[in-house]
Amino acid sequence: MTQLPNSLEARDIAFQLHSYTDARKHEEMGPMVIEKGEGIYVEDSSGKRYIEGLAGLWSVAVGFGEKRLVEAAARQMEKLPYYHTFAHKTHGPSVELAEKLVTMAPVPMSKAYFTNSGSEANDTAIKLIWYRSNAMGKPEKKKIISRVRGYHGVTIASASLTGLPNNHRSFDLPMSNILHTMSPHYRTMRLEGESEADFARRCADELEKLILAEGPETIAAFFGEPVMGAGGVIVPPEGYWDLVQPILKKYDILFVADEVICGFGRTGNMFGTETYGLQPDIMTLSKALSSSYLPMSALLVNEKVYGAVADESHKIGTFGHGYTAAGHPVAAAVALENLKIIEERDLVGHVRDISPTFLKRLHALGEHDLVIESRGIGFIGAIELAHSDLAKTPGALGAKANAAFTERGLISRALGDTMAFCPPLIMTEAQVNEMFDIAEAGLAAVAKAL
Ligand code: PMP
């Protein structure tokens, strides 16, 4: 595509390196410029409107253009645009948000700690876990287990937790002491004739085997998303978490629930932890926490973690960790207002009410010839595509579907050949139908062109 000189597109190519993008291809294709948003829709620079079927990056829970968040930010900007929480300082918004999150937590949590992204939250969780092991006089208890196809971020440690090849390849990752156990994806990982219940049992057995092979005394923690998101929207098999959790308890392994996508309503409960009856020691939160109007993330830690960390910081004389912008007062004020909206409008109840239609339409797409599996829960769903002509080029079919959806006014995300649907939580039933009508038409067009 030729770009006008000095156009935004041309300047983007000239000056910006993009995340999760083939940079050379970008030089040829140029960007899609999103200019504004309202509700579940965004508009590009040509004035074309799209349903944001992924809520940005699973994040804009309350939709675009929410004035209450703009006003909350403006009020806080005027009063105190910045302060930090280092060295015994604090400010109102960080205290209020910490209290709100600890109070909301579905399992007993002791403290909130603020960070700026999901990656930083998970990275910090690892540091807290290591710090705790040292505090307990167990310096050998440092290994962390996550899962193949799990997604936990892109900093050196969180990218190591992430179990996806593109986050490791050419980055010299994963770092040592981070281990991956099998993905709980039934369709691709099951043995012939294996029932879902037997598969869940095998996932748990594999985890236990890994723990025993490494030495339980060396394993500090296990990280898992209640429902895997960026690794392809993998809903765990029935009974999976009920089998995994006792193993963690048995070997005194901390459980970190990465709620970065599932948190704040996505699965039809406030937290994925409730949906699956989890008992995490640490929860990491981001995205819908502030609807991503401003960067904000947090960890909730229980007394087991906090107590040891507090003792160690006392011994050393300080807890030597912290980000300049963490707990930012403007971001915290926005997060507080955002949580108020989620509660006042009962968006969690809304997701529960509309999810049956969402899942019905999702699974109806699953009947399409190009779709080999549909999976979802709450307001998170995916279809996995396959076609014999494109079997040798993974991702090619996803790219075609992505283009067909975009052309018809739906932004989704191709995770390889998996198309994800993860709309703003405010999406109405009519809009759910509008979204899947477009997806159906897009798939039909792709099938016809093959
Ligand atoms: N954890 C999960 C479950 C995520 O989905 C993501 C982002 N997609 C992250 C962590 C990392 O968050 P961030 O991109 O804000 O660093």
Out of 328, 344, 360, pick the residue that ends a domain: 344
In a domain, 2, yes or no: no
* Domain housing 445: 32-62+346-449
Per-residue pLDDT tens over the stretch 372-413: 999 999 999 999 999 999 999 999 999 999 999 999 999 999
Tokens in use for 293?
């109007």
Distance 299 CA to ligand 1 centre (A): 13
In a domain, 151, yes or no: yes
Q: What's the residue count for the chain? A: 450
Residues 287 and 359 in one domain: no
In a domain, 16, yes or no: no
Find the CATH number of the domain harbouring 217. 3.40.640.10
Could you give the CA distance from residue 377 to residue 379 in angstroms, rounded to a whole number?
Answer: 6
Q: Which residues line ligand 1 (CB under 6 A)?
A: 57, 117-119, 122, 151-153, 225, 229-230, 258, 260-261, 286
* Listed residue (440, 435, 265) closest to 353, CA to CA: 265
The ipTM of this complex is 0.99
In a domain, 15, yes or no: no
Distance 217 CA to ligand 1 centre (A): 29
Out of 285, 312, 344, pick the residue that ends a domain: 344
Beta strands in 59-119 (DSSP E): 111-115
Residues 317 and 224 in one domain: yes
What is the number of the ligand 1 atom nearest to the C-alpha of 295? 15
How many C-beta atoms lie closer than 10 Å to residue 431's C-beta? Answer: 18
Residues 305 and 406 in one domain: no
Residues 53 and 79 in one domain: no
Tokens in use for 236?
């765990």
Residues 231 and 336 in one domain: yes
Find the CATH number of the domain harbouring 51. 3.90.1150.10
Q: Which residues contact 1 (CB under 8 A, 6 or more apart)?
A: 28, 29, 30
Residues 305 and 415 in one domain: no
Could you give the CA distance from residue 317 to residue 334 in angstroms, rounded to a whole number?
Answer: 33
Distance 159 CA to ligand 1 centre (A): 10
In a domain, 21, yes or no: no
Per-residue pLDDT tens over the stretch 22-38: 999 999 999 999 999 99
pLDDT band at 1 (very low <50, low <70, confident <90, very high): low
Residues 373 and 272 in one domain: no
In a domain, 117, yes or no: yes
For residue 268, pLDDT over 80 is answered with: yes
* pLDDT attached to residue 5: 77
Distance 284 CA to ligand 1 centre (A): 10
Amino acid type, 380: I
Q: What is the mean pLDDT of the chain?
A: 97
Distance 118 CA to ligand 1 centre (A): 4
Distance 1 CA to ligand 1 centre (A): 32
* pLDDT attached to residue 343: 98
What is the number of the ligand 1 atom nearest to the C-alpha of 297? 15
Residues 393 and 428 in one domain: yes
Q: Looking at ligand 1, which residue's alpha carbon is closest to its atom 13?
A: 118
What is the number of the ligand 1 atom nearest to the C-alpha of 228? 3
What is the number of the ligand 1 atom nearest to the C-alpha of 150? 3
Residues 228 and 307 in one domain: yes
Please name the helix (run of DSSP H) or strand (run of DSSP E) that holds residue 249, with its range, or none.
helix 240-250
Residues 351 and 311 in one domain: no
Residues 45 and 191 in one domain: no
Per-residue pLDDT tens over the stretch 338-374: 999 999 999 999 999 999 999 999 999 999 999 999 9
Could you give the CA distance from residue 426 to residue 318 in angstroms, rounded to a whole number?
Answer: 43
- Greatest CA separation for the chain: 68
Tally of helices (H runs) and strands (E runs) in the chain: 16, 15
Distance 163 CA to ligand 1 centre (A): 13
Residues 86 and 48 in one domain: no
Q: Which of 18, 59, 122, 152 maximizes ligand 1 atoms within 8 Å of its Cβ, making it the mutation to test the pocket?
A: 152
Give the total number of structural domains in the chain: 2
In a domain, 4, yes or no: no
In 3-state terms, what secondary structure has residue 377? Answer: strand
Out of 304, 328, 344, pick the residue that ends a domain: 344
In a domain, 410, yes or no: yes
How many C-beta atoms lie closer than 10 Å to residue 362's C-beta? Answer: 23
